[in-house]
Amino acid sequence: MTGPVKTALIALLSAIAAAVMIFVAALQNDNTPQPEPTPTPTVTPSPTPTPVADVQILNSLERPEWSQDSDWTSTVIRSVFTNQITGFFLRTQNPCNYTSIENLSLLLPVTVNHASASNFTPGLYYDRIVDLTSDNCSGAVYLWIDTSENLEIGGASITLEKTIASDPVHSMPLYMSFNPWTMILGYCGEWCAAENRTQQGLITLMEHRISPYSNTIVPWNGSNDIGEPYGYFQNVVPFTEHGLWVPNMEQAEMSNANASLSQVLTKWFYTMDEPNASQMGSLRTLLAQQRQFAPDIKRMVTTNITHDLDVDIYCPVMEQFGVNGYPPKSAYSESDYWIYTSCMANGCGENRGWNGGAINHIDYPSTGSPDLAIDAPGVNLYGFYLVGHSIGASALLYYNSIENWGLYRTGIDVLEDQYNFGGNGDGTLMYPDRDSRSALPSVRMKLLREASYTLEAITRAGMESDIDSMVRTTLDWDHDIRAIEALRSRAFDSL
């Protein structure tokens, strides 16, 4: 490289270096604000989802067949007496997850092909209660649970707000029969040695606030000195007092039965059932004999006060008390009287035990009186107590708890077919468990127990006038379960 070229190149490089130094210095002295870096956003953790309850509880006193979907919830609070057992309907998609829960039962449907009344509907009605097991849990639609304490199950909760103790003496007794012979037929279809199971059925009735009476006809005074054996005694306790002897029951069991059932001791004659005009002469004779030989035992006849009879207790049917031209409440001012409901609530038909099992269906509308049929809304079970109280009756009567069990000898099984006397389940509030020979309560019996407690709460709260405002006659009353629920809540709140 020649001298002049070399000199020029050196000068160029020096100029470039100087320019770079000037540019760097300019950058270092530049005070133009620079943008802040965008901060990394903070990640907000997602809230933990609230678990969906697997079990829903029916928050109503009505049966599930008449409930609204909005009545089913995961949280229920109910006011109760401190010594009360109460019950709830449940539903779940996974019933087999709960077979180990104590007192949890399965509801089985009863098929109603012929409605009890023309304004009722055929279909499936969940009235039969059995233990929930791994063998029967699959496909369960409804469950039932009895409880006296708070309960959590499947994400759902039941809270019982306890008030005061229930009175062991019921202000409105409900009398009902449990016939040992009918029980035997229900278990075996013919004679079998099952008399010792009578005690279990009687105690089950009493556990549901129902007072059993013996409808076993007993000889008078151990002899036939007044003609044919006659009369019925209220309850079967103690057995030796009125002749209901269970031959196969051991003495120890008899003693236990006496101890268990001795809390109800009132005795009375069920002198005659619905006597007609042609029976009045013999009825008067019978009443006189009972008065003579047992002056301290009250005599009850299921008839109205139209007939001038020397009775202690009249017990007219709902359809013959103050309606349809029958004597009003004021006519009974000097008499003790009960009230009973029957197949007349939906129209009485034939006894299939007497006609070879044939179904001669009748199609009458409901009269409006409280109806205990399987396909009648549950509000009727509460109405039975409320109507009875409003008209001033001192007790309720329902003639039988296992009437249709006797049809088993004709080939009719109450587990599948409950149609008799023109309705479904008339006189039949229990179901036979033939394996254990036990009488199992129905849903209707459970609701009768709740209705009894409901009436007690209302009367102890001094709210009888609220009942009277709901009842006009035995056939005309408010079939409004919401109103009854609201009245029940107000009553317990005031206790």
The structural domains of the chain, with segments of one domain joined by +, span 55-162, 174-494
How would residue 289 be classed by pLDDT, with cut points 50, 70 and 90? confident
Query: Is there a contact between 374 and 418 (Cβ–Cβ < 8 Å)?
Result: yes
- On the question of pLDDT at 442 being above 60, the answer is yes
Average pLDDT (206-226) is 56
- Burial class (CB within 10 angstroms; exposed 0-12, middle 13-18, buried 19+) of 247: exposed
Tokens read off for 112 = 């109603």
Alpha-carbon distance values, 162 to 80, 83, 169, 193, 294 (Å): 5, 9, 19, 44, 44
- On the question of pLDDT at 369 being above 60, the answer is yes
The answer to whether the pTM exceeds 0.85 is: no
Average pLDDT (21-25) is 51
**DSSP letter string, 331-386:** GGTTSEE-EE--GGGT-----TTTTTT------PPP-SS----TTS-THHHHHHHH
* pLDDT recorded at residue 216: 39
CB-based contacts of 236: which residues, under 8 Å, 6+ apart? 178, 198, 202, 212, 213, 214, 242, 244, 261
Instruction: Give SS3 for 152.
Output: strand
Percent residues over pLDDT 70 in the chain = 78
Between CA 15 and CA 165 the distance in angstroms is 109
How would residue 288 be classed by pLDDT, with cut points 50, 70 and 90? confident
At position 34, the amino acid (one-letter code) is Q
Percent residues over pLDDT 90 in the chain = 65
How would residue 226 be classed by pLDDT, with cut points 50, 70 and 90? very low
Q: How many CA atoms lie within 13 A of 88 on its CB side?
A: 30
Query: Is there a contact between 397 and 175 (Cβ–Cβ < 8 Å)?
Result: yes
Instruction: Give SS3 for 143.
Output: strand
CB-based contacts of 13: which residues, under 8 Å, 6+ apart? none
* pLDDT recorded at residue 44: 53
Residue 300 φ then ψ, to 5° = -115, 135
Average pLDDT (190-218) is 77
Report the range of poorest mean pLDDT among 81-85, 114-118, 356-360, 475-479.
Answer: 356-360
Alpha-carbon distance values, 284 to 1, 26, 271, 339 (Å): 158, 133, 10, 21
Query: Is there a contact between 358 and 352 (Cβ–Cβ < 8 Å)?
Result: yes
